[in-house]
């Protein structure tokens, strides 16, 4: 009796309270089929087989309390004697224990509790319940097929179940079919669960899930009929089921069969209903989707923004609003705005999801176009000002200043509306209290804009605040002269009445921010600066033309950029590539007139160019030595032959000649490799950074960025290792004179023949002027030094040749940092 009426009773109450808390706090995901059963958030340890996971306590205190009650009942009230339990409530205690552990995500321990009932209490009245819960555990452990098989077996073995048990069994059976992606078979058990369900909350949920299943099966009529059943429950079930059911019905309507007025009325009724305010984020989003389908883009943008203004609790809805706006602006070729919306989208998507990586990749593809559009806009605006005459500049900046004044007045009006009302009601009063209020008002006006303390927030350090304070003072006191006792006996300054009147009309007259000369004086006039503006602007136009053509296939945008570029007297290096790209664009668009125009222009004005050769005989050019790929392959062989100076010079030249071509980054990266061999790691990092920033979308640019970051973090230090701790050594001779090196090679060959030595010898570059002759395969520093002495004494090698012995590790440091002088000092020490 104590077990039933005390421990288990309060334990079951705790479980019910815990379930109600979970249901109330559960974040529904209407983007997918709703789960039949809602669960609390998982504990930090997600692997249920880890030891720590088994010790995880319930996040919900009600489940923790229920577990304590069940444990107490078992420990204090069990009467298990000689294989028989005399307290017939203990099986209920084990079921309660299993439920508490189940809701705490401790599935292995929960299954132990249910299995104990199945093994020790086969005649228990709760045996069916224990079996159902055991299969629920299997489903949580992702044994879906096993759970489905056992649930079907339970239904066949126990046809006579209570309504509550029928509801529970059939709902879980439906969930098992859903998890096995068998929506058709899930509908039958779900119908049974709906039939037996007495709780309208459960019935509404089951009906909504059933409608979602019909949607998943593309059975639109059945889905709409079931959604209507949800709607008809009205206030008997949670309102969010009804609202989402109505929205799904509207989405399922064939737009060709209804008018815009009908759809507008349907969404309008949902929006205007005060009870639907918590759901306006979804309603506005779906209304925006409807307009997007109709290509009513402006209205779609407006409703997406209204959805965002509701600050949705559903993060995925947040991301969908931003993503739709990003796609709209992307399709409108407004890539800068699209990039900003893609950034916002990424902040509301889980970084581990595949969608995050897809959107991040698309956003990254916009980096170049945003960068060069920004450069083009900036340079174009400055060039436009440079080309204006004095009158045009003055007019332009006067209009700009008028806009600034209106903005300043608007801000002042908003921030000091209450102060104006107070001052107006007390105007004319010249007592000390009024003076105090006025000073406090001016002080507060300053504080409201700075928000900081100290010198930076001092009122008169901010010209805008000071100007607003002056306006406020004049509104309160009028234009009185500055005299002693001004607040009691001050008079209007009649001698300068006209001047003061003008100042009152334009209180910004003394602020440089509102003077045209402030801006006109900053317009560049030096020829070299103006020329650099054109160079930067033209290069940005060229890059944009290539990007629009290659990445986005926006041929009209690309064509406009190239044509505008050719009209602005660009550098010679940009002319031919631009014309050739216009030829390719015309070919892609099937515009034969334009295609022939640009082809003839290349052949007549630039007949000796590689582009002319390519147009006349594409196949011949492909096999020609002038083919950029053939040039690159030849240059790479020169790199392998350690002709680094030649590679640097040639790669730099071809990178400029082939600007805008896909192969250009290859030449730049090869140049970076050659620079590393000649100038060391710092020059290498600088060259890699240039490739990464200039060609960020190419494979070469991505490699350069990765390598740059790797070197920045893990570059080998300049500190030399102890020479006695290494396993492999070299003997290195170094030269700054080519003739002297040839003489050494002759003597060394003779010495090796005399001594019958067979060491590996290589030629290696150190710097532009200094080269190494390296003898490999020595096992100690003393052995390397001893070899040098033997070559002098017994091989008759001249002792005038400079040499040093070094370990492989230290040799790498010398080559990376080009610090031979430091190593020689280290060696002498």
What letter would DSSP give residue 787? H
Position 324 scores a pLDDT of: 95
Per DSSP, the three-state class of 540 is: helix
Count helices and strands (H / E) in the chain.
42, 6
Look at phi and psi of residue 478 and say left if phi exceeds 0, alpha if psi is from -120 to 50, else beta. Answer: left
Position 660 scores a pLDDT of: 60
Chain-centroid distance, C-alpha 205: 36
| Topology agreement, domain 1-141 and domain 527-623 | yes
Q: Roughly what angle, to the nearest 10 degrees, separates helices 463-477 and 390-415?
A: 60
Residue 443 confidence (pLDDT) above 50:
no
Q: Which tokens sit at 823? A: 């190593």
Q: Which of 710, 370, 692 is CA-nearest to residue 552?
A: 370
For 688-697, what is the mean pLDDT?
Answer: 72
- pLDDT tens digits along 547-603: 888 878 889 989 999 999 999 988 887 888 899 889 999 999 999 999 999 999 989
Position 829 scores a pLDDT of: 65
Chain-centroid distance, C-alpha 343: 5
Q: Which tokens sit at 282? A: 């979804």
Residue 419 confidence (pLDDT) above 90:
no
pTM of the model: 0.61
Residue 679 confidence (pLDDT) above 50:
yes
Q: Which of 800, 790, 825 is CA-nearest to residue 810?
A: 825
For the chain, the domains span: 1-141, 527-623, 628-714, 723-828
Position 309 scores a pLDDT of: 94
- pLDDT tens digits along 710-724: 777 665 566 777 766
Taken as a whole, the chain contains a residue count of 829
Q: Which of 263, 261, 195, 260 is CA-nearest to residue 229?
A: 195
Position 110 scores a pLDDT of: 92
| Helix or strand holding residue 453 (H, E) | none
DSSP secondary structure string for all residues of 364-395:
HHTHHHHHHHHHHHHHHHHHHHHHS-HHHHHH
DSSP secondary structure string for all residues of 600-629:
HHHHHH-TTSHHHHHHH-HHHHHHSTTSHH
* pLDDT bucket at 488, cuts 50 / 70 / 90: low
Look at phi and psi of residue 614 and say left if phi exceeds 0, alpha if psi is from -120 to 50, else beta. Answer: alpha
Q: Which of 624, 595, 594, 626 is CA-nearest to residue 609?
A: 626
Check whether domain 1-141 has CATH 1.10.10, yes or no:
no
- Give residues with Cβ within 8 angstroms of 694, minimum separation 6: 665, 668, 701
Position 781 scores a pLDDT of: 82
- pLDDT tens digits along 27-45: 899 999 999 999 887 655 4
Chain-centroid distance, C-alpha 93: 51
Q: Which tokens sit at 511? A: 């602020």
Position 447 scores a pLDDT of: 42
Provide CATH code, domain 723-828.
3.30.70
- Report the b/e string of 548-578 with b at 16+ CB within 10 A: bbeebebbebbbebbebbbeeebeeebbbbb
Backbone φ and ψ of 696, nearest 5°: -65, -25
* pLDDT bucket at 431, cuts 50 / 70 / 90: very low
- pLDDT tens digits along 255-298: 889 999 999 999 999 999 999 999 999 999 999 999 999 999 99
Position 331 scores a pLDDT of: 86
Task: Please classify residue 508 by burial: count the beta carbons closer than 10 Å to its beta carbon, then call 0-12 exposed, 13-18 middle and 19+ buried.
Answer: buried
Backbone φ and ψ of 731, nearest 5°: -110, 120
- pLDDT > 70 fraction of the chain, expressed in percent and rounded: 82
Query: What is the spatial distance between Cα 141 and Cα 146, in angstroms, rounded to a whole number?
Result: 11
The third-level CATH classification (topology) of the domain covering 527-623 is 1.25.40
Is the model more confident about 80 or about 353? 353
Lowest mean pLDDT among 2-16, 189-203, 232-246, 351-365: 2-16
Residue 8 confidence (pLDDT) above 50:
yes
- Give residues with Cβ within 8 angstroms of 155, minimum separation 6: 169, 170, 173
């Amino acid at each position: 009796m104590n077990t039933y009426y005390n421990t288990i009773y309060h334990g079951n109450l705790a479980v019910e309270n815990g379930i109600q808390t979970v249901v109330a706090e559960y974040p529904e995901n209407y983007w997918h089929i709703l789960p039949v059963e809602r669960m609390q958030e998982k504990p930090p340890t997600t692997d249920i087989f880890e030891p720590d996971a088994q010790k995880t306590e319930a996040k919900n205190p009600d489940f923790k309390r229920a577990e304590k009650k069940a444990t107490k009942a078992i420990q204090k009230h069990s009467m298990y004697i000689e294989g028989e339990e005399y307290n017939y409530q203990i099986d209920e205690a084990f079921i309660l224990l299993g439920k508490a552990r189940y809701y705490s995500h401790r599935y292995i321990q929960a299954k132990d509790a249910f299995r104990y009932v199945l093994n020790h209490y086969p005649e228990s009245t709760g045996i069916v319940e224990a079996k159902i819960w055991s299969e629920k555990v299997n489903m949580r452990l992702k044994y879906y097929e096993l759970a489905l098989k056992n649930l079907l077996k339970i239904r066949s073995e126990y046809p006579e179940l209570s309504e509550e048990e029928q509801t529970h069994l059939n709902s879980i059976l439906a969930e098992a079919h859903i998890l096995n992606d068998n929506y058709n078979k899930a509908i039958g058990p779900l119908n049974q669960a709906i039939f037996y369900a007495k709780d309208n909350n459960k019935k509404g949920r089951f009906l909504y899930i059933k409608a979602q299943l019909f949607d998943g099966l593309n059975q639109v009529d059945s889905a709409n009929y079931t959604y209507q059943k949800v709607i008809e429950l009205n206030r008997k079930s949670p309102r969010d089921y009804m609202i989402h059911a109505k929205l799904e019905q509207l989405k399922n309507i064939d737009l060709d069969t209804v008018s815009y007025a009908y759809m507008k009325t349907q969404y309008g009724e949902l929006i205007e209903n005060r009870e639907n305010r918590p759901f306006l984020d979804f309603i506005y989003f779906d209304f925006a989707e409807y307009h997007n389908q109709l290509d009513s883009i402006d209205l779609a943008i407006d409703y997406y923004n209204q959805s965002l203004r509701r600050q949705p609790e559903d993060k995925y809805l947040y991301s969908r609003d931003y993503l739709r706006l990003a796609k709209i602006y992307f399709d409108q070729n407004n890539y800068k705005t699209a990039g900003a919306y893609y950034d916002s989208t990424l902040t509301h998507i889980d970084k581990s999801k595949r969608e995050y990586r897809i959107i991040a990749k698309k956003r990254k593809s916009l980096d170049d176009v945003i960068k060069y559009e920004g450069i083009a806009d900036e340079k174009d605006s400055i060039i436009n000002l440079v080309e204006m005459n004095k009158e045009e500049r003055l007019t332009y900046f006067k209009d700009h200043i008028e806009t600034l004044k209106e903005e300043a007045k608007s801000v002042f009006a908003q921030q000091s509306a209450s102060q104006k009302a107070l001052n107006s009601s007390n105007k004319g009063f010249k007592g000390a209290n009024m003076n105090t209020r006025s000073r406090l008002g001016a002080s507060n006006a300053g504080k409201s804009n700075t928000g900081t303390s100290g010198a930076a927030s001092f009122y008169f350090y901010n010209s805008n605040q000071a100007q607003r304070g002056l306006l406020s003072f004049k509104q309160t006191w009028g234009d009185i002269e500055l005299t002693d006792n001004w607040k009691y006996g001050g008079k209007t300054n009649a001698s300068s009445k006209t001047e003061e009147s003008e100042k009152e009309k334009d209180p910004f007259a003394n602020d440089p921010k509102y003077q045209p000369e402030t801006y006109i004086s900053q317009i560049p006039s030096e020829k070299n600066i103006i020329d650099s503006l054109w160079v930067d602007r033209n290069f940005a136009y060229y890059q944009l033309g290539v990007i629009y053509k290659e990445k986005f296939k926006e041929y009209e945008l690309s064509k406009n950029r190239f044509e505008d570029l050719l009209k602005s007297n660009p550098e010679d290096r940009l002319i031919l590539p631009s014309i050739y790209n216009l030829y390719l664009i015309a070919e892609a668009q099937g515009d034969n007139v334009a295609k022939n125009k640009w082809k003839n222009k290349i052949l007549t004005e630039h007949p000796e160019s590689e582009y002319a050769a390519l147009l006349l005989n594409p196949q011949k050019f492909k096999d020609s030595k002038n083919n950029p790929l053939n040039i690159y392959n030849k240059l790479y062989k020169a790199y392998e032959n350690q002709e680094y100076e030649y590679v640097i010079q040639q790669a730099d030249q071809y990178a400029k000649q082939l600007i805008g071509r896909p192969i250009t980054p290859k030449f730049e990266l090869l140049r970076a490799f050659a620079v590393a061999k000649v100038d060391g790691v710092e020059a290498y990092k600088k060259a890699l950074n240039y490739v990464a920033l200039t060609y960020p979308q190419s494979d070469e640019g991505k490699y350069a960025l990765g390598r740059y970051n790797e070197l920045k973090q893990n570059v080998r230090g300049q500190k030399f290792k102890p020479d006695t701790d290494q396993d492999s050594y070299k003997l290195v001779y170094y030269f700054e004179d080519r003739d002297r090196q040839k003489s050494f090679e002759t003597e060394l060959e003779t010495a090796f023949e005399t001594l019958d030595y067979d060491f590996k010898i290589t030629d290696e570059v150190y710097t532009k002027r200094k080269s190494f002759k390296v003898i490999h395969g020595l096992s100690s520093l003393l052995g390397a030094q001893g070899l040098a002495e033997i070559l002098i004494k017994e091989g008759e090698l001249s002792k005038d040749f400079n040499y040093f012995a070094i370990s492989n590790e230290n040799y790498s440091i010398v080559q990376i940092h080009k610090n031979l002088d430091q190593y020689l000092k280290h060696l002498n020490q």
